[in-house]
Amino acid sequence: MTTEKLNIILVNKFINRNGVLICELGGEVMSVKSAERVMDVIDYLVNAEEPATLMELSECLGIPKSSMSQLLSTMMRKQYLTKDQANRYKLGHKLITAGNRARVSNDIYSVSIPVLKQTIQRTGETLFLGIRSGKEVIYLAKVDSDQSMRTAAQPGSRKPLYCTGLGKTFLAFENRETSDRLIEEIEMKRHTRNTITDPDELKRAAESYRNEGFVIDDEEGEQGIYCIAAPIFDESGKIIAALSCAGGKDRILEKHQLVIDEITDAAKRISITQGYLGGA
């Protein structure tokens, strides 16, 4: 099957009218060229750090402004895109719903769940799996034990990178240029007395975490919650996700080394399923 056909399937389905290959986007007939442009817009916004303007999308994707405007209007009307207060485009509700459905078959999610369930038997504390989206971490999965302390984080929720164990893991294990840029761009607000709000201090902490191989969140995002997190790498050694164990500070400190060992081991086992062989 050609790449062109795969792109069409992703939008919706094939229809053949008078021998011309076309497709539907939420019931609206589109040409193959338009369908490819839809996928280009989605791909661009998925990988962008921030929402994008009409001009930015037009220039970066090489699509005339008038054509891009019509395309974005259609995608807005069908709820595949939405706008923020600055009139910039971002992914809409339908794509979020589709993403949630795809999550259960996503490789990193599906291979991680059994590991999380095994690990919680030994840690007895809440475990999280997350990925980075711009300056935030998105929680993909949460596994609780009977003794777990309740936290605000839930699957699908977002939190800042700078004050969470999962988030700081990305700051520590992304390449140095990306990490430094993110730290400089993030607006750091104090959530607890332990929240790091100084960029230079956060950079030093990230360097220390990188050397240790794991990250600690010492009541920086939520009062009373202590977290240990570790990176998950792909075959190239790039961080693609993070795993964490969170609970009451006193409980975690009582078994501190055990939790470190279990979380780093679980992250390594998941990394291996992604083709990682070590050396990052």
Amino acid identity of residue 84, one-letter, is D
| pLDDT per position as a tens digit, 37-68 | 999 999 899 888 789 999 999 999 999 999 99
Q: Sketch the domain layout of the chain as residue ranges.
A: 3-98, 104-273
Q: Do domains 3-98 and 104-273 have the same CATH topology?
A: no
- Note whether 243 and 111 are within 8 A (CB): no
Q: Tokens 């019509």 map to which residue?
A: 70
Helix (H, G, I), strand (E, B) or coil at 276: coil
Check whether domain 104-273 has CATH 3.40.640.10, yes or no = no
Per-residue model confidence (pLDDT) at position 25: 52
| pLDDT per position as a tens digit, 147-194 | 666 666 677 788 889 999 999 999 999 999 999 999 998 889 999 999
Q: Who contacts 257 (Cβ-Cβ below 8 Å, separation ≥6)?
A: none
Say which range, 2-11, 88-97, 253-262, has the weakest mean pLDDT. Answer: 2-11
Work out the angle at residue 167's Cα, subtended by the Cα atoms of residues 164 and 168, and round it to the nearest 5 degrees.
Answer: 85
Of the chain, the percentage scoring pLDDT greater than 70 comes to 82
CATH of region 3-98: 1.10.10.10
- Note whether 51 and 19 are within 8 A (CB): no
Cα separation of 249 and 194, whole Å?
13
Q: Who contacts 124 (Cβ-Cβ below 8 Å, separation ≥6)?
A: 145, 147, 148
Terminal-residue alpha carbon distance, the chain:
35
Per-residue model confidence (pLDDT) at position 103: 53
pTM, 2 dp: 0.62
